[in-house]
């Protein structure tokens, strides 16, 4: 009988020892309950065979289910921490490369804008950096949301672990009260140890010990509030921008788009105003190589830019790009700013010669 009971409680100690025998648990948390069980296993080995069967059916099996739950949670934890990390690293590396490229071409735009190609326009590079940053931060926020959800699950299961062990101790206490005064004293001591442990003690210990744990008040980052080198440089900001309608060069249909005049003398077409959605221009005209033409009065009013898109294959072909405005005031404002942008670049080139 003694040997049988010793084996049963040794098995209980093994179940509680894996995975609880780790530095991640507070010494005055669930580990203290386990130690109490382990130290009293020798005394409880005197129980007769009926008590051994009761212990096995009401305590050990429940703790075995708890062990399986913990192992499953550990597997989910390892999987979640690995998911998405490589993608975040790649996104931030791409962001760093694009930010460095923006820093590289800003001095060129300041000193020799004629040497710029459309893809090296600081404004274009700024939009690309903004787009990449937004995606990287969004990936980071999504991964942190998953980690936060996982933390909440861990915190929930910490409570379940404590409650399950406390239930096992209470069950055994009820069983032991039917036995001798000595066994009652032993189990009451064990119950006292378990009662002193708060259900969130081990989680509090883990939160203060592991710097990787996100705080409960964690808030996702807003990519619009993130700054990077040259993000506020004057060459990264448009001189003028707004919606226009362009007549396509082949199908002769009207294409609504968003247009930007950059300080480097490029007239850029985007499908929309948001850099986070449309980082690349669909049309790039270098005003220094183009001719501005104001059309005869018409409804709607329009103007023409005669030139070619150098970003296309083989330098593109020369076209008359026809743009329509909503009113005369708008077309006058556009022509004024386009002429200003062209003159600024021309004067900058002349001063370098």
- pLDDT score for 349: 47
Q: Residue 86 — pLDDT band, cuts 50, 70, 90? A: confident
Q: For 121-155, what is each residue's pLDDT tens digit?
A: 888 889 988 898 888 888 888 878 877 887 787 78
Model confidence at 56: pLDDT above 80 = no
From the list 97, 66, 57, 63, the residue with the least C-alpha distance to 228 is 97
Q: Which two tokens stand for residue 198?
A: 């708060």
Three-state DSSP state, 44: helix
Q: In the predicted model, what is the mean pLDDT of the chain?
A: 79
- pLDDT score for 352: 45
Q: What are phi and psi of 255, to 5 degrees?
A: -115, 110
Strand order in the sheet with 240-247: 283-286, 266-270, 254-261, 240-247, 319-324, 302-307, 291-294
pLDDT (average), residues 218-231: 85
Assigned fold of 238-352: PH-domain like (2.30.29)
Q: For 324-342, what is each residue's pLDDT tens digit?
A: 988 888 888 999 999 988 8
Sole residue written with tokens 């850099």: 275
Task: Determine what percent of the chain is predicted with pLDDT higher than 70.
Answer: 82
Q: For 236-294, what is each residue's pLDDT tens digit?
A: 999 999 999 998 867 678 889 999 999 989 999 999 998 888 999 999 999 988 999 88
Q: For 296-318, what is each residue's pLDDT tens digit?
A: 887 788 899 998 887 775 456 78
All structural domains of the chain with their residue ranges: 1-237, 238-352
- pLDDT score for 269: 94
Q: Tell which wins on pLDDT, 4 or 275.
A: 275
Task: Describe the chain by its helix, strand, coil percentages, rounded to 5.
Answer: 60, 10, 25
Q: Residue 36 — pLDDT band, cuts 50, 70, 90? A: confident
Is the Cβ–Cβ distance between 140 and 147 less than 8 Å? no
Model confidence at 194: pLDDT above 90 = no
What does the angle CA 25 – CA 26 – CA 30 come to, to the nearest 5 degrees? 75
């Amino acid at each position: 009988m003694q040997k049988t009971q010793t084996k049963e409680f040794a098995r209980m100690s093994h179940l509680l020892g894996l995975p609880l025998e780790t530095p991640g648990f507070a010494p005055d948390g669930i580990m203290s309950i386990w130690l109490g069980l382990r130290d009293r296993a020798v005394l409880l080995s005197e129980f007769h065979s009926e008590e051994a069967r009761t212990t096995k059916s009401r305590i050990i099996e429940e703790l075995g289910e708890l062990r399986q739950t913990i192992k499953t949670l550990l597997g989910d934890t390892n999987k979640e921490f690995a998911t998405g990390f490589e993608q975040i690293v790649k996104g931030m590396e791409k962001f760093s490369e694009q930010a460095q490229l923006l820093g590289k071409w800003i001095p060129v735009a300041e000193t020799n804008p004629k040497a710029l190609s459309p893809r090296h326009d600081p404004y274009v590079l700024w939009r690309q950096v903004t787009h990449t940053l937004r995606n990287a931060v969004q990936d980071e926020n999504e991964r942190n949301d998953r980690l936060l959800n996982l933390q909440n699950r861990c915190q929930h299961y910490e409570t379940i672990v404590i409650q399950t062990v406390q239930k096992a101790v209470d069950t055994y206490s009820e069983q032991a009260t039917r036995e001798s005064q000595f066994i009652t004293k032993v189990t009451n001591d064990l119950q006292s140890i378990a009662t002193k442990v708060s259900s969130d003690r081990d989680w509090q210990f883990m939160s203060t010990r592991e710097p990787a744990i996100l705080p409960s008040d964690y808030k996702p980052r807003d990519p619009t509030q993130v700054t990077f080198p040259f993000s506020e440089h004057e060459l990264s900001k448009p001189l003028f921008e707004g919606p226009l309608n362009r007549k396509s060069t082949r199908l002769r249909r009207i294409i609504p788009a968003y247009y930007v005049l950059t300080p480097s003398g490029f007239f850029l077409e985007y499908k929309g105003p948001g850099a986070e959605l449309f980082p690349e221009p669909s049309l790039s005209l270098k005003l220094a190589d183009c001719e501005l033409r104001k059309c005869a009065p018409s409804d709607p009013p329009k103007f023409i830019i005669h030139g070619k898109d150098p970003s296309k294959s083989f330098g593109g072909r020369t076209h008359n790009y026809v743009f329509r405005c909503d009113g005369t005031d708008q077309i006058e404002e556009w022509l004024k700013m386009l002429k200003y942008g062209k003159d600024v670049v021309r004067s900058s080139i002349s001063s370098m010669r």
